[in-house]
């Protein structure tokens, strides 16, 4: 009977799905090698790799951006936004995310340069989801504000990215 916990769980699920779709689209567009299979000092980028080749040898193409880090930050953002009175969620959460990043680099799964976009993506996904579903914070309409957002779109003929600008 805890509405806030239920809302947080549903928002985390939405964040995982939305973030996963965006990360997969970016991975399939950038095609960066992981350190484990790197053929150059900083990993080769193969923009828009062949889908069949990508599926057969994913470590050659799936390093950028880090889905692990992006998902962790999206989840952390949703939890932190739903429990703003908690003084330990952010410090502990960001510490764990930092350790996760170091572990991913140590295991040759990612480069440190895979993390900035992943962190920004995860944070924005979490903020967007909580800002439009969070009854704890009243929304104020202002005529001077503008915002924009991106969202994946799937149609019968293919897929794309939808851009929304509000002003």
What would the pLDDT profile of 14-48 be if each residue is shown by its tens digit?
999 999 999 999 998 998 888 888 888 888 888 88
C-beta of residue 96 within 8 angstroms of C-beta of residue 45: no
Beta bridge partners of 154: 159
Task: Give me the mean pLDDT over the 113-137 stretch.
Answer: 85
| pTM for the predicted model, two decimal places | 0.75
Is residue 138 within a helix (H) or strand (E), and if so which, with residue range?
A: none
Q: What 3-state DSSP class applies to 47?
A: coil
Residue 135 has pLDDT above 90, yes or no: no
Task: Give me the mean pLDDT over the 93-98 stretch.
Answer: 95
C-beta of residue 13 within 8 angstroms of C-beta of residue 79: no
Using CA atoms, how far apart are residues 138 and 142, in angstroms rounded to an integer?
Answer: 13
The band of 139, judged by pLDDT with boundaries at 50, 70 and 90, is: very low
pLDDT at 133: 64
Q: How many CB atoms lie within 10 A of CB 24?
A: 13
* Sequence-distant (≥ 6) Cβ neighbours of residue 149 within 8 angstroms: 128, 163, 164
The band of 7, judged by pLDDT with boundaries at 50, 70 and 90, is: very high
Q: How many CB atoms lie within 10 A of CB 63?
A: 27
Of 155 and 43, more confident? 43
Residue 134 has pLDDT above 80, yes or no: no
Task: Give me the mean pLDDT over the 108-112 stretch.
Answer: 89
């Amino acid at each position: 009977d805890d509405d806030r916990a239920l809302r947080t769980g549903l928002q985390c699920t939405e964040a995982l799905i939305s973030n996963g779709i965006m990360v997969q689209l970016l991975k399939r567009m950038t095609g960066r090698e992981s350190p484990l299979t790197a053929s150059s000092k900083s990993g080769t980028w193969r923009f828009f790799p062949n889908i069949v080749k990508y599926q057969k040898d994913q470590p050659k193409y799936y390093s950028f951006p880090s889905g692990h880090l992006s998902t962790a930050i999206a989840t952390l953002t949703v939890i932190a936004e739903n429990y703003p009175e908690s003084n330990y969620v952010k410090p502990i959460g960001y510490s764990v995310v930092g350790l996760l990043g170091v572990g991913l680099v140590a295991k040759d799964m990612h480069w440190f340069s895979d993390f900035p976009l992943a962190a920004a993506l995860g944070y924005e996904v979490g903020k967007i989801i909580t800002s439009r579903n969070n009854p704890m914070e009243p929304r104020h309409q202002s005529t001077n504000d503008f915002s924009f957002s991106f969202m994946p779109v799937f149609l019968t003929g293919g897929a794309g990215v939808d851009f929304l600008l509000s002003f």
